Chain A
């Protein structure tokens, strides 16, 4: 561990993830603030962030709760949004296969950003390291942010003015670009999937469009000898 923290490799991973942490921390602050400003007690966003730990699902569940949509609708919306974590869990399973504890702990750290960050790395050792660095850091910063926001209430104002909502899609662009650049088949699958998701968005509940995108995999043919 001691040497791990000193390698330039680790330093660059920490540097790159720290921006995602910063942005997530601010989004976390706004989640805490929105929840409390809407009338929920401080412990609700705080506990939810610790045990659910999935930004989009938390926002939508609290949104449904505050809009008076009822607990069943709130839980269903959040769970629907999180079905994608099953696919992400499969994609990073080999990175977590270093023991019982890492499997059970690592599973909780599976998020869009951390999976994207890990898969964007070039070799297995770096991928594993990236998963844990991004995962642990993001968990710490997200939960600290939510607590701070819940305590501060609505003092922060409208966080949309910081442009963070553009930062997250841009982070994902930067992380998937190397993969789709190197693999034309993957690019075709991704473009078809993205188009399907966009087309479906106005018509179906939140969370479903992204799942429909997986239909883009029909374009994924068996590669001719090359490893993916």
Chain B
């Protein structure tokens, strides 16, 4: 078996196993209310960590100013309860315009 196929298989099987843990346990094991609570809070904590690292870092270093500036604009729009489309397009457009202007 070639090495690339092995990578894809290992990734696919491992990832699916991770994803299946929750749905398989659900209903078979009685999950205490406190654990269920922590699981949903944990999902939000993970998402916030993802957005923070995604907005500010790239390959372990700073991502440059254009990206966090775009995310910030998107965040302000979301805070002001702008429609979802406006948030997404506002963030991407800000970053694209900054890059066009030469800001990394």
Contacts and interface: CB of A to CB of B under 8 A. Distances in A.
B96 A116 contact: no
A214 B21 contact: no
B35 to A, nearest CB: 8
Contacts of A85: 15, 18-19
B51 A176 contact: yes
Interface of A is mostly: helix
Interface string B4-33: 101111111011101111111111000000
A96 B96 CA distance: 38
Interface residues of B, number: 73
The prevalent SS among residues of B at the interface is: helix
Given A87-B39, A173-B51, A228-B40, A19 B3 contact: no
A91 B11 contact: no
Contacts of A74: 7
A33 B25 CA distance: 38
B11 A61 contact: yes
Nearest to A91: B43
Interface of B: 3-4, 6-12, 14-16, 18-27, 34, 37-57, 60-61, 63, 66-71, 73-75, 78-79, 84-85, 87-97, 99-100
Interface of A: 15-16, 19-20, 23, 40, 44, 47-48, 51-54, 57-58, 61, 65, 70-71, 74-75, 78-79, 82-94, 96-97, 103-104, 106-108, 110, 112, 115-116, 119, 160-177, 179-180, 186, 189-191, 193-198, 201-202, 206, 209-210, 212-214, 216-217, 220, 222-223, 228
10 contacts: A40-B4, A79-B15, A89-B22, A103-B24, A104-B20, A119-B44, A174-B84, A177-B78, A201-B57, A217-B38
